[in-house]
A and B are shown apart, each in its own frame.
Chain A
Amino acid sequence: MKKTVVAISLTLILLWVLAPLCFAAEAEAAAKGSNVFYYAMAALAAGIGVGIGALGCGIGQGVATSKACEGIARNPGASGKITTSLIIGLAMVESLTIYALVVALIILFVNPFGKLLQ
């Protein structure tokens, strides 16, 4: 019950904090007649996107490393194979965050909606 109340109030506070940002950027764009709104939203999206991607990657790689350390502690003789499997697993998980980074780079630098806005 308490967790639900905390979660709902946090969501509402986040909404109240972020809403003026959106309206301010849109009003500024309407006043200037350019695509500042796109760049404002793009910066926000890139930052939050890569942040959430790194969050998942951190949790996943932390769990993988902890299990690998446990395995080596149980059986030090197999540490070579365990380390190889660990490195391969970490590279796999890391590539998911790299996808988030590539999407952020596309949004920031390639400007996929550029032709539509101009």
Chain B
Amino acid sequence: MEALHETLLMDAIVNPEKIPHNVSHAFLVCIILILVALVIRKSIRLVPKGTQNFVEVITEAILNLVEENIGHHWGKTLFPFICTIFMFILVGNCMGLIPGFTAPTANINTNAAMAVPVFLATHYYGIRVNGIKYINHFLGPVRSIFALPLMILMFVVEFVGHLARPLTLTVRLFGNMIAKHILLLVLAILAPWIIPTSILALGVLVSVVQAFVFTLLATLYLAGAVEEAH
């Protein structure tokens, strides 16, 4: 892996020794998202056209997902967090498809920086909505003093399951991006020009689907945490 070294366009602006590639490209993703938002804001219309239409399609799809799973009460509060994650991962993944740029999500640090706040947010909102009753989520279906061993066992199992969530979120996105990257590199050495292009087409599908899967899982975890015991 040491012999395969890529030169990227960012190397001209930012020194890769001081600021690693994933950080500088993550900043680039943020700048792109903010610029698109500002451009749309200047000429906003009631009946959308062009870029505004595209962004509204994405926003409405994620809004439907969030409201369907979390409900009306907390959906609107949690929606900005989830939609930002989706847009960041989508633009970040697609940036890796362009030669001369690298995907910020192909580095495990960026993904952990997104998965750990989701984990912390589930517990924060769980305690804020349910109070001390949040511990009922961990104790399993049977609630009686005679089932205390079962409740303790369920608590341990649920604890481990909850700890596995940020880990799997991180590794799923990281593994998909790095597998696509390594496959492209190896095939470019072995059989250039035509076969890597097919892998690039598969890479587009994987980029979009993995962004959606991360967002969907974050929504489901948050929905499980804030569900009211009606």
Contacts and interface: CB of A to CB of B under 8 A. Distances in A.
A99 B1 CA distance: 20
B178 A88 contact: no
Given A88-B216, A95-B168, A109-B1, A102 B174 contact: yes
A91 B208 CA distance: 11
Interface string B194-230: 0000000000000001101100100000000000000
Nearest to B175: A98
- Binding site secondary structure of chain A: helix
Interface string A75-117: 0000000000001100110110011011001000100000000
A92 B213 contact: yes
A9 to B, nearest CB: 37
B172 interface: yes
Contacts of B172: 91, 95, 98
A27 to B, nearest CB: 28
Nearest to B168: A95
Given A88-B216, A109-B1, A95 B209 contact: no
A52 to B, nearest CB: 16
Nearest to B108: A102
Contacts of B1: 109
A102 B210 contact: no
Assign chain A's interface to a size class: 10 to 19
Contact of B176 (A87, A92, A98, A105): A98
B129 to A, nearest CB: 26
A91 B210 contact: yes
Contact of A98 (B171, B209, B212, B216): B171
Nearest to B2: A109
* Best-buried of B168, B172, B174, B216 by chain A (most CB within 10 Å): B172
Interface in B160-183: 168, 171-172, 174-176, 178-179
Nearest to A109: B1
Contacts of B216: 88
A109 B172 CA distance: 19
A95 B175 CA distance: 8
A101 B179 contact: yes
Contacts of A92: 213
A91 B179 contact: no
Nearest to B213: A91
Nearest to A97: B175
A99 B171 contact: yes
A65 B117 CA distance: 34
Contacts of A88: 212-213, 216
